[in-house]
Amino acid sequence: MSAKTALASAICLVFAGCALFEDELPESCVVIEEAKPAPSDKVVIDTAMEVRLYPIVSSFIERMSSASWEISSAKGFGVKSDVIAKERDEDREWKEFFAYGCEATWPIGSSCTYVKSIGKLRVRNTPENIALIDKFLCELNAMPILEVQARFVKVAQKTLDEIGAELLPGKDAGHRYDLSDFDAVPAAELERRLVARRDLLRNEAPRVMTRTGEEAVFKSVTEYIYPTDYDVQMGEFATCGSNETVRVREFGFATVEPQSFTMREVGVIFQVTPTLVDDDKKAFVEFNVQSVSPAEWTDFGTQLPAPGGGTYALPMKQPFFPVSSSDMRLAVALGDTVLVSSGVLQGKADETELVFLRVRKVDVNGRAVKPK
């Protein structure tokens, strides 16, 4: 290898005037022509990179390709770096799109690939460039906003029987309706009948808004702080009496000091990640619902002999939190209401808890967006 080639390999930059040595350069080098480099042509070697997955809806892909063609036709692109030039056409379009849309640069080691099978754009770049791309996609509404409403209803069996008699006539008097009886009834109608009642034990309908593919969390809870350990201090010896040969001594009262406090949230905790699929007509929803009931306390203390006779209690209470939870993944048509969870509460055979779910597309102000 010639001296000039070695020097070029060391600095990894060769201008067009040195084209004689281009075929001898290692693949890690970048060739920059004399023309003014585009924003994405800046060579930055940075190993501190992040990987981000962006859920991109299919309708935006068409917009991006159209914008890329228009800018390219107007000679707005023209990225000279081999880092981009060697990419496949679709990946190069994405890089050029971001380079001129938000001036994101593409250092050596960066990548931008759209994975069609999962509908996500995988971007590997520096934190600064990731921030530019994230802001740009938000401005373009590439990741639409979805509103998810979950309605939590706790109902007595008597109420369920009355609603069943209204929706499913012909049943014998006194029939106990379980939820399988309502399979043929639209979930939206069942929800409407329940909400109209005034004897529900619970009726909460939290709504959360999030971008497609991102998690949202709703909590309606009370924080319970309680000890997980107790330190017992026994009473000191005390002289209670004496005679000529024996001094009488006994323990005083023991004390208990709670330690190692922790916290538990009691109430409704709703975690959901909706993702648009099927040309924006459906949403694939991953969600976890927890309904945590107030604590039931159990005393693990003991009885100790009291000074002067008798006993006294040494309390050491610990809480147990009854939990009803559901963890599901399902596809929901936008705007439809589905019954996603139901069941008899533990220890309460005459009470049933139901969870209804609805997903719709909204704008930044929360107004429903009609499907195209």
| Residue where a domain stops, chosen among 143, 165, 182 | 143
Supply the pLDDT for residue 28: 39
Give me the amino acid identity at 163: I
Percent of the chain at pLDDT > 90 equals 17
Across 298-331, b (16+ Cβ under 10 Å) vs e yields: eeeeeebeeeeeeeeebebeeeeeeebeeeeeee
Number of Cβ within a 10 Å radius of residue 268 = 19
**Mean pLDDT lowest among 7-11, 24-28, 67-71, 129-133:** 7-11
- 182 closest CA partner among 171, 167, 170: 167
Number of Cβ within a 10 Å radius of residue 130 = 19
- Average pLDDT over every residue of 333-337: 91
Same domain, 152 and 137: no
Same domain, 213 and 348: yes
Query: Does residue 76 surpass a pLDDT of 90?
Result: no
Supply the pLDDT for residue 47: 59
* Residue 68 domain-assigned (yes or no): yes
Burial class (CB in 10 A: 0-12, 13-18, 19+), 105: buried
Same domain, 72 and 172: no
- 280 closest CA partner among 143, 185, 181: 143
Supply the pLDDT for residue 304: 82
- 83 closest CA partner among 116, 44, 53: 44
| pTM (whole model) above 0.85 | no
Supply the pLDDT for residue 266: 93
Cβ–Cβ < 8 Å for 363, 145: yes
Q: Is the dihedral of CA 122, 128, 132, 134 positive or negative?
A: positive
**Mean pLDDT lowest among 23-37, 153-167, 265-279, 321-335:** 23-37
If one counts the domains in the chain, the total is: 3
- Average pLDDT over every residue of 31-41: 43
Supply the pLDDT for residue 272: 92
Distances (CA, A) of 93 to 33, 41, 83, 173: 20, 14, 13, 68
| Residue where a domain stops, chosen among 97, 120, 143 | 143
Same domain, 114 and 216: no
Same domain, 94 and 159: no
* Residue 255 domain-assigned (yes or no): no
| Residue where a domain stops, chosen among 117, 143, 169 | 143
* Residue 97 domain-assigned (yes or no): yes
- Average pLDDT over every residue of 130-150: 81
Decide which of 292 and 41 is more confident. 292
Which residues are paired to 172 by β-bridges? none
For residue 136, the Cα-to-chain-centroid distance in whole angstroms is 22
Angle between helices 89-102 and 58-73 (to 10 degrees): 80
* Residue 4 domain-assigned (yes or no): yes
Pairwise CA distance, residues 293 & 321, whole Å: 6
Supply the pLDDT for residue 113: 84
6-10, 248-252, 300-304, range with greatest mean pLDDT: 300-304
* Residue 26 domain-assigned (yes or no): yes
Same domain, 297 and 205: yes
Under DSSP, is residue 302 helix (H, G, I), strand (E, B) or coil?
Answer: strand
Residue span of the structural domain in which 132 resides: 42-143
Same domain, 274 and 204: yes
Kindly compute the dihedral angle of the four CA atoms of residues 62, 68, 73, 74, in this order, to the nearest 10 degrees: 130
* Residue 84 domain-assigned (yes or no): yes
Same domain, 139 and 158: no
Pairwise CA distance, residues 174 & 161, whole Å: 8
Supply the pLDDT for residue 73: 56
- 152 closest CA partner among 115, 106, 207, 96: 207
Q: Where are the beta strands (DSSP E) in the chain?
A: 13-14, 30-31, 50-55, 111-115, 120-125, 145-156, 202-204, 207-211, 216-233, 237-242, 247-251, 255-277, 282-292, 296-299, 302-305, 311-314, 317-320, 323-333, 337-345, 348-362
Two tokens at 245?
């040969």
Pairwise CA distance, residues 365 & 361, whole Å: 11
Decide which of 294 and 246 is more confident. 294
* Residue 150 domain-assigned (yes or no): yes
Same domain, 89 and 176: no
